[in-house]
């Protein structure tokens, strides 16, 4: 112990408590040369510095470069106020009301420039659970660093010197593959419960271990997520599900007891053997697409996550004697209503999800003109992908999915040969629907 203390004094290292002076890590040590950052963010920093301000590339980009990952975007932090930033760039605009940031347009790039944020104090507005409501005070760079969530996210890269300023030992933590919270984890989760989700997402995406101090309280504090505005949860869930590591994220969410508050029905889904298989297949599919740089659609994702809840409710209504299609619509509305309370799935996405679900029973109809009408649906491709997933998960016969795969691909005149014979009841049903086209997916036929 004494030897440790002496060696620390003589090594010249600052004691851990003094966080105001950052460690300055030279390029010779971290290896990130300025050509590794986007030209837009480099030029933004240069211009701000020419005007006498501090300016750094900050946050996720520096972290990702240090571990050899491709950054999603390059954000800049500065001591210039938003107004001052505005005056440095012709193509820029201030956005946001509560905490203003500036979007600087550089060629094709839009760089987000944020003014250093100040420390929270007694005047900071919080709700009754301690969640910070207004966080809009400017501050020093050291305060800005302390306001960030994880040590690895509090790194500032100066393109002029190519040095990394490290206020909280983030570089060392990254080397040790540790995601460590800045400050006392319980207090930081109370200020903003979304940090629990960020911990899981970043750890899964970056292959880091959440430091035990930050990991332990999550299970106890998971309920605080109930208090987060649904729109914020939706954004965060979307980030998580489209991170390219959603399977890992979801597995870890469950391990940490975090899935309950998010999608209130997700825990139920994952406990049904069929539901779990389906969700995991869908997510693995999405991860694969993201990693290959292909787009993903939020509506498809949420439609898969909630499908087995719809199925369960639909079956219940059918057992009560309701008609097939009206029961499906009622089940869809029910599931989306329950979700909507927790997760603000936007109206546009909700519409797309419903369309995807409502098209599913129509794949069963493989006689007459109906298959042709289904092919013409604008959302046919997504609905077909959904059908294939259902078949792969064992919910429906693979033969149906295979039939549709062939039906799309054969020459037009061969399609007729594939059609199944009309069932005796089919025509009658169609006539009845024509008279009264109000409900059901076939209303548009
Ligand atoms: P990603 O790779 O998903 O973009 P990121 O860490 O860059 O990850 P952003 O949401 O882009 O995430 O946030 C940028 C930076 O802002 C973070 O690196 C972190 O320093 C800070 N930050 C974001 N959210 C929070 C939060 N809830 N609490 C504290 N700091 C945050
Ligand atoms: Mg980012």
DSSP label at residue 91: S
Distance from the alpha carbon of residue 363 to the mean position of ligand 1, in angstroms: 43
User: What is the tens place of the pLDDT at every residue in 26-51?
Assistant: 999 999 999 999 999 999 999 999 99
First and final CA of the chain: distance in angstroms? 81
Per-residue pLDDT, 10: 38
Measure the CA–CA gap between 140 and 133, rounded to whole angstroms: 21
Q: How far is the CA of 95 from the centre of ligand 2 (A)?
A: 17
Q: What is the pLDDT of residue 427?
A: 55
- Is 352 designated active site? no
Ligand 1 atom with minimal separation from the 71 CA: 2
In this structure, which residue's CA is closest to atom 9 in ligand 1?
60
Judge whether 279 and 240 are in contact, CB under 8 Å: no
Yes or no: domain 14-182 corresponds to CATH 3.30.460.10: yes
Nearest to 162 by CA among 26, 346, 21: 26
**Hey, which residues does 102 pair with through a beta bridge?**
94, 113
User: What pTM was computed for the model?
Assistant: 0.81
C-alpha 202 – ligand 1 centre gap (Å): 10
Tell me the pLDDT of the chain averaged across its residues: 87
Instruction: Clarify whether 149 is annotated catalytic.
Output: yes
Give CATH 1.10.3090.10 domain extents, the chain.
298-420
The sign one gets for the Cα dihedral 200, 204, 208, 212 is: positive
73 an active-site residue? Answer: yes
- Residue 322 Cα to ligand 2 middle (Å): 48
Residue whose CA is closest, atom 21 of ligand 1? 148
Q: Quick one: pLDDT band at residue 8, thresholds 50, 70, 90?
A: very low
Query: β-strand 209-210 against 92-95: which pairing, if any?
Result: unpaired
Q: Where in the sequence of the chain do the CATH 3.30.460.10 domains occur?
A: 14-182
Is residue 22 pLDDT above 90, yes or no? yes
- Give the integer Cα–Cα distance in Å for 246 and 263: 14
Write down the pLDDT at residue 444.
34
Neighbours of 352 (CB within 10 A): 20
* CA atoms lying within 13 Å on the CB side of residue 136: 10
Radius of gyration of the chain (CA): 27
In this structure, how many other beta carbons lie within 10 angstroms of the beta carbon of residue 423?
Answer: 12
Q: How far apart are CA 213 and CA 180, in angstroms?
A: 8
Q: Looking at the CA of 71, which ligand is closest?
A: 1
Enumerate residues lining ligand 1, CB below 6 A. 59-60, 72, 75, 148-149, 153, 192, 194-195, 198, 239
Catalytic-role residue among 73, 158, 267, 385: 73
- 298-420: what CATH class? mainly alpha
Q: Which one of the listed residues 75, 79, 173, 211 is annotated catalytic?
A: 75
Residues within 5 Å of ion ligand 2, judged at the Cβ atom: 60
Read off the pLDDT of residues 198-233 as tens digits, 9 standing for 90 and up. 999 999 999 999 999 999 999 999 989 888 888 888
Ligand 1 mean position, distance from CA 206 (Å): 14
**Do residues 361 and 324 touch, judged by C-beta distance below 8 A?**
yes
**Ligand approaching nearest to the C-alpha of 64:** 1
How far does Cα 243 stand from its chain's mean position?
6
Pairing relation of β-strands 109-115 and 75-78? parallel
Does the pLDDT at position 286 exceed 80?
A: yes
pLDDT digits over 361-387, tens only? Answer: 999 999 889 999 999 999 999 999 999
Average pLDDT (397-402) is 96
Residues 57, 63: Cα–Cα separation, whole Å: 10
Ligand with minimal distance to 196 CA: 1
């Amino acid at each position: 112990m004494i030897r440790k203390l002496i060696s620390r004094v003589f090594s010249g290292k600052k004691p851990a408590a003094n966080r105001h002076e950052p460690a300055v890590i030279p390029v010779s040590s971290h290896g990130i040369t300025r050509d590794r950052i986007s030209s837009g963010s480099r030029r933004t920093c240069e211009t701000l510095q020419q005007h006498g301000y501090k300016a750094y590339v900050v946050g996720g980009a520096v972290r990702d470069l240090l571990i050899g990952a491709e950054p999603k975007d390059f954000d800049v932090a500065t001591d210039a106020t938003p107004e001052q930033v505005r005056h440095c760039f012709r193509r820029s605009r201030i956005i946001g009301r509560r905490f203003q940031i500036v979007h600087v347009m550089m060629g094709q790039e839009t760089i987000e420039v944020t003014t250093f944020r100040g420390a929270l104090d007694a005047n900071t507005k919080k709700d009754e659970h301690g969640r910070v409501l207004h966080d809009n005070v400017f501050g020093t760079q050291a305060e800005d660093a302390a306001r960030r969530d994880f040590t690895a996210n509090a790194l500032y890269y100066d393109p002029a010197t190519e040095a990394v300023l490290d206020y909280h030992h983030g570089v060392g933590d990254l080397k040790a593959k540790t995601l460590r919270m800045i400050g006392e984890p319980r207090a930081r989760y109370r200020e903003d419960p979304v940090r629990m989700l960020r911990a899981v997402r970043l750890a899964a995406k970056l292959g880091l271990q959440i430091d035990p101090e930050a990991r332990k309280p999550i299970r106890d504090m998971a309920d605080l997520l109930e208090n987060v505005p649904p729109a914020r949860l939706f954004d965060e869930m979307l980030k998580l599900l489209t991170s390219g590591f959603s399977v890992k994220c979801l597995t870890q969410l469950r391990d940490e007891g975090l899935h309950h508050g998010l999608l209130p029905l997700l825990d139920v889904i994952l406990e049904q053997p069929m539901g779990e298989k389906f969700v995991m297949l869908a997510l693995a599919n999405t991860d694969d697409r993201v990693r290959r740089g292909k787009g993903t659609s939020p509506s498809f994702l949420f439609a898969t996550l909630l499908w087995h809840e719809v199925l369960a409710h639909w079956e219940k209504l059918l057992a009560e004697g309701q008609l097939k299609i009206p029961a499906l619509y009622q089940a869809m509305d029910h599931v989306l209503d329950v979700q909507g309370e927790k997760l603000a799935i936007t109206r546009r996405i909700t519409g797309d999800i419903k369309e995807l679900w409502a098209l599913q029973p129509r794949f069963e109809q493989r006689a007459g003109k109906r298959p042709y009408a289904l092919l013409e649906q604008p959302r046919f491709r997504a609905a077909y992908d959904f059908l294939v997933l259902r078949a792969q998960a064992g919910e429906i016969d693979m033969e149906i999915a295979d039939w549709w795969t062939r039906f799309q691909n054969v020459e037009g005149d061969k399609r007729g040969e594939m059609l199944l014979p009309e069932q005796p009841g089919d025509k009658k049903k169609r006539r009845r629907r024509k008279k009264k086209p109000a409900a059901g997916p076939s209303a548009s036929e």
